[in-house]
């Protein structure tokens, strides 16, 4: 008992009634679902660093609410953030004049813009690769499309001044490395100037009409829709305008890179033959019904879901109930804005009772479709955009 009291920093009154194997609530780690307002059906992959994903049926909303957004952290979630004294510095080899802004200055000086943006972790779908790839074993739930409000990164960069030799931007954030070493950054990635200068690339301070939730980057986050979500730095306080490809943590080696040319499964690939992932590939999810649904015979079934295609747009959405032998079209919506996911639905009639699978396949504006089997194996297990499938029974 003395030991617990020491940890709690005070006496445990009536502690003599506690059973020997009882851990006082005050010493239990906080429940991440409660701490971060997450739906109880979210799946925790890791608690240090915290990584949590959705299931397909949880992603049914047109705009993903906080409770159903996956969390991907490389380090520790910052604590005690003080938005009033928060600053963002623009520096680097290619800035004309290094400049620092308070949050208030960013908000009052630049025009506000709101976009729905699809953010998918580069490793979403990793769990299916064989031979397996190390890292979080995401299934299909590391994607969301929330509505972000902020100022254009371009407006802020131009205010500080961008030199002609600018190539890339790199973000820096305040989250702590797992080792607690202050000289190490958990992650510091970025994007070429062309992506940094797009209309939809924001320095966001709001998500779904409110302050950004802590786990998703409060009080300031970079959002670059359609690219691996690792480009969208959370809790950022510095952006460097670089005269070369940014060389921060997780930019080099094999991180967020795939072989420049396809390789056989399991093959070792030299770092110099790995290329940085830019636009994410075309993909879709059936969000209704939930896989395993039981339906009664004679009734038709309305399926629905979302489809997205990185920098491109989804132009065709199809489903199959005969294991890919034939495909029928779904109704497909226009995106709310560029880089937002699109919604699809279809009404399906089943010829007789029994077990079925519903497969969904999206095609982008370039004519590239999702593969029905696993796409190109790569050492880190990125970019799995195979068709989503659900099972239904008709009785």
Contact residues toward ligand MTE (CB under 6 A) are 69-75, 121, 173, 175, 186-187, 216, 229-230, 232-235
Say how many Å lie between the first and final Cα of the chain, rounded: 59
Structure tokens given for 49 = 């660093």
Listed in sequence order, the residues at least 6 apart from 360 whose beta carbon sits closer than 8 Å to its beta carbon are 284, 285, 286, 303, 305, 307, 317, 318, 319, 330, 344, 387, 388, 389
233 or 305: CB nearest ligand MTE:
233
Question: To the nearest whole angstrom, how small is the minimum distance from the Cβ of residue 390 to ligand MTE?
Answer: 24
Residue 321: HSE in the Cβ half-sphere, 13 Å Cα cutoff:
19
Question: To the nearest whole angstrom, how small is the minimum distance from the Cβ of residue 360 to Mo ion?
Answer: 23
What is the C-alpha separation between 263 and 376, in angstroms, rounded?
8
219 or 289: CB nearest ligand MTE:
219
Question: To the nearest whole angstrom, how small is the minimum distance from the Cβ of residue 75 to ligand MTE?
Answer: 6
Listed in sequence order, the residues at least 6 apart from 49 whose beta carbon sits closer than 8 Å to its beta carbon are 73, 74, 75, 76, 178, 186
57 or 72: CB nearest Mo ion:
72
246 or 343: CB nearest Mo ion:
246
Q: Which residue is nearest to Mo ion (CB)?
A: 121
Answer with the entry of ligand MTE, Mo ion, none that 310 interacts with (C-beta below 5 to 8 A by kind).
none
Enumerate the β-bridge partners of residue 249: none
CA angle, 197 as apex, 77 and 92 as ends, to 5°?
65
Question: To the nearest whole angstrom, how small is the minimum distance from the Cβ of residue 232 to Mo ion?
Answer: 9
What is the C-alpha separation between 319 and 370, in angstroms, rounded?
12
Contact 115, 339 (CB under 8 A): yes
230 or 320: CB nearest ligand MTE:
230
Answer with the entry of Mo ion, ligand MTE, none that 234 interacts with (C-beta below 5 to 8 A by kind).
ligand MTE
49 or 289: CB nearest ligand MTE:
49
Answer with the entry of ligand MTE, Mo ion, none that 380 interacts with (C-beta below 5 to 8 A by kind).
none
Answer with the entry of ligand MTE, Mo ion, none that 342 interacts with (C-beta below 5 to 8 A by kind).
none
Answer with the entry of ligand MTE, Mo ion, none that 216 interacts with (C-beta below 5 to 8 A by kind).
ligand MTE
**Alpha carbon 394 to its chain's center:** 35
Contact 265, 193 (CB under 8 A): no
Question: To the nearest whole angstrom, how small is the minimum distance from the Cβ of residue 278 to ligand MTE?
Answer: 15
Question: To the nearest whole angstrom, how small is the minimum distance from the Cβ of residue 236 to Mo ion?
Answer: 15
Place of tokens 């990584």: 51
Any idea of the CA torsion for 38, 119, 231, 385, to the nearest 10 degrees? 120
Contact 343, 333 (CB under 8 A): yes
Backbone angles phi, psi at 292, to 5 degrees: 95, 0
Place of tokens 């670089």: 242
Answer with the entry of ligand MTE, Mo ion, none that 75 interacts with (C-beta below 5 to 8 A by kind).
ligand MTE
Answer with the entry of Mo ion, ligand MTE, none that 74 interacts with (C-beta below 5 to 8 A by kind).
ligand MTE
Question: To the nearest whole angstrom, how small is the minimum distance from the Cβ of residue 384 to ligand MTE?
Answer: 14
207 or 392: CB nearest ligand MTE:
207
Question: To the nearest whole angstrom, how small is the minimum distance from the Cβ of residue 72 to ligand MTE?
Answer: 4
Listed in sequence order, the residues at least 6 apart from 307 whose beta carbon sits closer than 8 Å to its beta carbon are 282, 283, 284, 285, 314, 317, 332, 341, 342, 343, 344, 360, 362
70 or 344: CB nearest ligand MTE:
70
Question: To the nearest whole angstrom, how small is the minimum distance from the Cβ of residue 300 to Mo ion?
Answer: 38
73 or 363: CB nearest ligand MTE:
73
The residues of the shown chain that bind Mo ion, judged by CB under 5 A, are 72, 121, 230
């Amino acid at each position: 008992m003395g030991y617990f009291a020491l940890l709690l920093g005070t006496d445990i009154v009536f502690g003599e009634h506690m059973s020997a194997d009882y851990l006082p609530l005050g010493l239990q780690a906080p429940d991440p679902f409660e701490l971060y307002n997450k739906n109880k059906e979210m799946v925790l992959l890791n608690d240090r660093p915290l990584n949590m994903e959705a299931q397909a049926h949880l992603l049914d909303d047109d705009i993903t609410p906080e409770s159903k957004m996956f969390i991907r952290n490389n380090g520790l979630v910052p604590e005690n953030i003080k938005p009033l004294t928060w600053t963002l510095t623009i520096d680097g080899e290619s800035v004309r004049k290094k400049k620092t802004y308070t949050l208030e200055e960013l908000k009052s000086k630049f025009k506000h813009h709101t976009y729905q943006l699809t953010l998918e972790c580069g490793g979403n779908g990793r769990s299916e690769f064989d031979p397996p790839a190390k890292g979080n074993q995401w299934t299909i739930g590391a994607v969301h499309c929330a509505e972000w409000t902020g100022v254009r990164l371009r407006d802020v960069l131009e205010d500080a001044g961008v030199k002609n030799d600018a190539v890339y931007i790199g973000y820096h954030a305040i989250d702590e490395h797992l080792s607690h070493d202050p000289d190490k950054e958990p992650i510091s990635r970025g994007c070429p100037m062309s992506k940094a200068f797009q209309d939809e690339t924001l320095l966001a301070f709001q998500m779904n009409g409110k302050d950004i939730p802590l786990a998703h980057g409060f009080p300031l986050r970079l959002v670059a829709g359609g690219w691996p979500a690792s480009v969208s730095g959370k809790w950022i306080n510095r952006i460097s305008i670089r005269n070369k490809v940014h060389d921060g943590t997780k930019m080099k080696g094999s991180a967020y890179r795939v072989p420049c040319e396809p390789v056989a499964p399991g093959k070792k690939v030299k770092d110099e033959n790995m290329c940085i992932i830019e636009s994410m590939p075309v993909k879709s999810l059936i969000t209704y019904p939930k896989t395993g649904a039981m339906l009664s015979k004679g009734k038709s079934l309305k399926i629905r879901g979302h489809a997205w295609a990185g920098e491109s747009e989804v132009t065709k959405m199809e489903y199959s109930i005969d294991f890919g032998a034939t495909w029928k079209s779904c109704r497909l919506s226009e995106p709310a804005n560029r880089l937002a996911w699109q919604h699809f639905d279809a009404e399906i009639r089943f010829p007789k009772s029994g077990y079925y699978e519903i497969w969904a396949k999206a095609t982008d504006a370039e004519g590239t479709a999702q593969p029905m089997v696993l796409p190109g194996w790569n050492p880190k297990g990125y970019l799995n955009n195979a068709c989503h499938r659900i099972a239904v029974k008709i009785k």
